[in-house]
Amino acid sequence: MKFNRLTPEEERVIVHGGTEAPFSGEYEGNFKPGIYACKRCGAELYRSEDKFDAHCGWPSFDDEISGAIRRLQDPDGVRTEIRCARCGAHLGHVFEGEGFTKKDVRHCVNSISLRFIQRGDSDERKD
């Protein structure tokens, strides 16, 4: 599998399971129509229709593209980590029971783990 080249900060989060600072990511306030893809391998992960503002400092989604996300027990033993199902890139964590949306799920995702493809930008879809 071919991976995209990552900056040292992207590698810290995506490969080594780090977290970017809250309210620092480029997609936290983005609500344009499109798709959010894995920065490492290009797999489509989330649709903009499933994004909502949880006021937590990171992009939040209440659903994923079917089969795109893998859930794992976080090393802290409390949270559930989410990773790209295709390449294993660390995305963030998923929480249930918070009541933010009718689906009652929040995927809390690091912006640095994502690449946004705005609807209509088909020339940008190169994996």
Average pLDDT over residues 19-45: 97
Res. 123: pLDDT tops 70: no
CATH code: domain of residue 30:
2.170.150.20
Residue 33 domain-assigned? yes
Query: Tell me: the pLDDT tens digits for 72-116?
Result: 998 888 999 999 999 999 999 999 999 999 999 999 999 999 999
127 inside domain: no
The pLDDT of residue 67 is 98
- Is 84 a residue of the active site? no
Mean pLDDT confidence for 42-56: 97
pLDDT of residue 12: 98
Question: Can you give the pLDDT at residue 122?
Answer: 53
Q: Is residue 26 one of the residues assigned to a domain? A: yes
Does residue 62 form part of some domain?
yes
Is 66 within the bounds of a domain? yes
The end-to-end CA distance of the chain, in Å, is 11
In the chain, % of residues over pLDDT 70: 94
Residue ranges making up the domain that contains 74? 8-119
- Is 21 contained in some domain? yes
Q: Tell whether the model's pLDDT for residue 127 goes beyond 50.
A: no
Residue 26: C-alpha distances to residues 6, 36, 119 (Å): 16, 12, 17
Residue 3: inside a domain, yes or no?
no
- pLDDT at position 126: 42
Domain total of the chain: 1
* Active-site option among 38, 41, 84, 108: 108
Asked if 54 contacts 95 with a C-beta cutoff of 8 angstroms, the reply is: no
Domain membership flag for residue 109: yes
